[in-house]
Amino acid sequence: MQIVHVTECLAGGVLTFLLNLTSVLDEEQHIIIFSRRDNTPANVEDLFGKNVKLVPWKYAEREINAKQDFLALLELMKLLKQYPDADVIQLHSSKAGFLGRLACRLQGRTKKVFYLPHGLSFAREDVSAGKKKFYICLEKLGNFFCGEVIACSDSEKKLLDKNGICNVHVINNGIEVSAMPPVYRAFSYPLVVGTVGRLTYQKNPSLFNAIVESFRGDNRVQFVWVGDGELHNDIQMADNVEITGWLNSEEVQRELTKIDVYISTSLWEGLPYAVLEAMSLGKPLLLFDCIGNRDLVETGKNGYLYKTKEEVISNIKNLLANPHLVNVLGENSYQLVKRSFSLKRMQIKYRRLYCGL
């Protein structure tokens, strides 16, 4: 089977997804048409297996620009013509999803076309209400052109349904989960509360900072942000907080093993890989109640969702007062990710979808 993937963003969650999918569907031939961004790894071609071919998409870019997008559409149509026998065309992220479905419609290739948003553009909280409506119109138009949509979480599907976007499947993102459960340490203070991500508006570091501020002077709790970014200064440095800076994947994994509780202050998500990784390591969750996050918490079993600073502060204080809960909730996190968010489960569902079963 030949599968053509199209993305204007080969970085972050899209890159992680494609590395995972192409590794477990290793008997298939994968063509990845992509645009290189600033955060695309310089050696990205070396990260994939021999069953993957990367093809540059020169004119594609993230922001809407009529002239540039028209050139990107023409270029994409030429690139797709090179693979007339492709069994599946899968489009990744909003821009590629729109241009890709338009290109397929113009070429009469309307069967086995799938679009995976990796986080919906109209779920963003950093754009105006008018812009959200515009993004919804684009999604509906792309949906009309052709293809079926893949939501990476149930909450994402609910938002698509709510806005009149049809032909939606749900296939959860998945990660490799060890059959051996994590080794849980005997608890001792301080309680280390940590997160992983780029310091951007989406990740809401100002809320993270407000939570940290509430525990200044309490040596029973320590905070860590694994990563860096343009909003680095939104977190005021003090004795009870650390920003690690940029780390490679192995270093991030080591930092994740050190934390006791995973916290997310994100305003919106698709289905976050960092949280899945924390769950596979047996970490309890404290997640802001938004799309993507809410699919990963069984409240009171493996952690808590919160909507206000006061709620999450109360959750942390509860764990400080009842430290035995850390390992109990963490074990439930591990069992949940193993049961519902494994890479094997994702592999089976994508193979069935591609085969039309």
The per-residue pLDDT for 15 is: 95
Cβ(299)–Cβ(287) below 8 Å: no
Query: What integer pLDDT is reported at residue 136 of this predicted model?
Result: 95
pLDDT at 357 over 80: no
pTM of the model: 0.92
Of 287, 352, 275, the residue nearest 315 (C-alpha): 287
Residue 30 pLDDT: 98
Q: Which amino acid is at 146?
A: C
Q: CA–CA separation, 260 vs 327, rounded Å?
A: 9
Is the per-residue pLDDT at 185 higher than 90?
no
**pLDDT at site 181:** 86
Q: What is the pLDDT of residues 113-154, one digit of tens each?
A: 999 999 999 999 888 999 999 999 999 999 999 999 999 999
pLDDT of residue 3: 98
From CA 201, how far away is CA 193, in angstroms rounded? 20
pLDDT-based confidence at residue 296 (cuts at 50, 70, 90): very high
pLDDT band at 12 (very low <50, low <70, confident <90, very high): confident
CATH architecture assignment, domain 191-340: 3-Layer(aba) Sandwich (3.40)
* All residues at 6 or more sequence positions from 357 whose CB lies less than 8 Å from its CB, including other chains: none
Shortest CA distance to 142 belongs to which of 123, 118, 158, 166?
Answer: 166
Element (H, E) at 97: helix 94-107
* Ranges of each domain in the chain: 2-174+342-354, 191-340
Q: What pLDDT does 26 receive?
A: 94
Greater pLDDT, 13 or 193: 193
- Closest to 297 (Cα-Cα) out of 153, 151, 123: 153
3-state secondary structure of 194: strand
- Assign 292 a pLDDT band (cuts: 50, 70, 90): very high
Both tokens of 223, joined, read 């905070």
Confidence of residue 62 (pLDDT cuts 50, 70, 90): confident
Sign of CA dihedral 109, 110, 114, 117: positive
Per-residue pLDDT, 187 = 86
What are the structure tokens assigned to 47, written together?
A: 């990260």
- Using a pLDDT cut of 70, give the percent of the chain over it: 100
Handedness of CA 91, 97, 103, 107 (dihedral sign): positive
* Residue 241, strand partner residues: 223
Strands 285-288 and 303-306: parallel
Q: 111 pLDDT exceeds 90?
A: yes
pLDDT at 68 over 90: yes
User: Taking 80 as the threshold, does the pLDDT of residue 191 lie above it?
Assistant: yes
Rounded Cα gap, residues 72 and 34, in angstroms: 11
Do the beta carbons of residue 171 and residue 152 sit within 8 Å? yes
**Average of pLDDT values for 273-277?**
96
Beta bridge partners of 55: 33
Same fold for the pair 2-174+342-354 and 191-340: yes
User: Is pLDDT above 90 for 57?
Assistant: yes
- Residue partners of 61: CB distance under 8 A and separation at least 6: 8, 35, 68, 72, 95
Name the pLDDT band for 38 (thresholds 50, 70, 90). Answer: confident
pLDDT at position 207: 98
Does CATH place domain 2-174+342-354 in 3.40.50.261? no
Lowest mean pLDDT among 38-42, 223-227, 342-346: 38-42
Mean of per-residue pLDDT scores for the chain: 95
